[in-house]
Structure 1
Amino acid sequence: MLLQTLKNSQITDNEISELMISQEKVAHVQSNNPLDHALLVLIKSGYTSIPVLDKEYKVQGQVGKAQILDSILGMERIEMERLHEYFVSDVMTTKVPRMKKDETFGKALMLSINHPFVCIEDNEGAFLGIMTRRSILALIHRHLEKI
């Protein structure tokens, strides 16, 4: 019933560009960064997961606090001193939800079910920004209040 209500309100036809956080404002790391740097970026930004970009600003993957902490988890303690021994490429996941800027909100909604954010790319694959699950839910909430 909720999905039908959203379809009837034409929210799923909206372009996602209006909800996108531009790449200049998105915390990110590169695959060759050490894990201590990535953890610092994650802690300072307040995010649990961030995109991994290459030098041409193309999405390579994503890395999160859980992946980093798992890599330094010892048998009896967290071995923080080992953070500098690993790089982002050692722990990142390459499965990242991606969309083109001109695709619709309906696709973003589907992709956000299992991911905290969706990466937005141009037609050449350059990173433009992200759309967070929070912004998706906020838009749905606004539309439901109007109905």
Structure 2
Amino acid sequence: MNISFFLKPKIEVSYLYSDCPVRQAMDDMMHSGFTAIPVIDRKGLYVGTITEGDFLRLVLGHSAEQLDQITVGETERRVRHHSVRIDANMEDMVDLVTAQNFVPVLDGRGMFIGIITRQDVIKYLRDHCTEERNERKQ
């Protein structure tokens, strides 16, 4: 199966720019309700994923005023979230989505084009198992 079937396009996804001040990024994350968000540069290249834990570690070591001076791109990230290219095979994507809530998807140039969520993959697998069970019953 082509992984593009699962793709939530960039236009429907929350993301942060790497040059965004940390204080603003924390506000954006809080309003989004997500615990992790992809980070891209102004050209659209995927830089990484930042988590609430990354921000917490930063806040514990800096004053509130310093958080306006530090950018998301300068923030140390504890975990490296892996991405896939749009032409990746399903097995590679499933391996990643078991360890991450979402998998960032890149085009051939490394440009961020969207995400694949763990929830969507699990729903697909559930439906696929249900279909197989129903076929065996017939």
Using the size of structure 2 for normalisation, the TM-score is 0.84
Pairs within 5 Å for 1:71-110: 71-73=58-60, 80=64, 82-93=66-77, 95-110=80-95
Query: Percent of aligned pairs with the same residue?
Result: 24
Deviation of 1:66 (Å): 1.3
Counterpart amino acid of 2:72?
V
Counterpart amino acid of 2:74?
D
Cα distance per residue 1:56-97 (max 9 Å; x no partner) = 1010111111110121126xxx96554324221232538331
1:105 to 1:70, Cα distance in 2 relative to 1, 3 A: same
**1:140 matched residue in structure 2:** 125
Structure 2 residues without counterparts, runs of 5 or longer: 134-138
Distance between the aligned counterparts of 1:47 and 1:145, measured in 2?
Answer: 30
1:40 and 2:27 correspond? yes
**2:116 matched residue in structure 1:** 131
Distance between the aligned counterparts of 2:99 and 2:48, measured in 1?
Answer: 15
Distance between the aligned counterparts of 2:120 and 2:17, measured in 1?
Answer: 25
**In the comparison of the two structures, how many residue pairs are matched?**
131
Structure 1 residues without counterparts, runs of 5 or longer: 1-13
Distance between the aligned counterparts of 2:20 and 2:122, measured in 1?
Answer: 32
Secondary structure at 2:99 match in 1: coil
Deviation of 1:16 (Å): 0.9
**1:60 matched residue in structure 2:** 47
Secondary structure at 1:112 match in 2: helix
Counterpart amino acid of 2:57?
D
1:92 to 1:23, Cα distance in 2 relative to 1, 3 A: farther
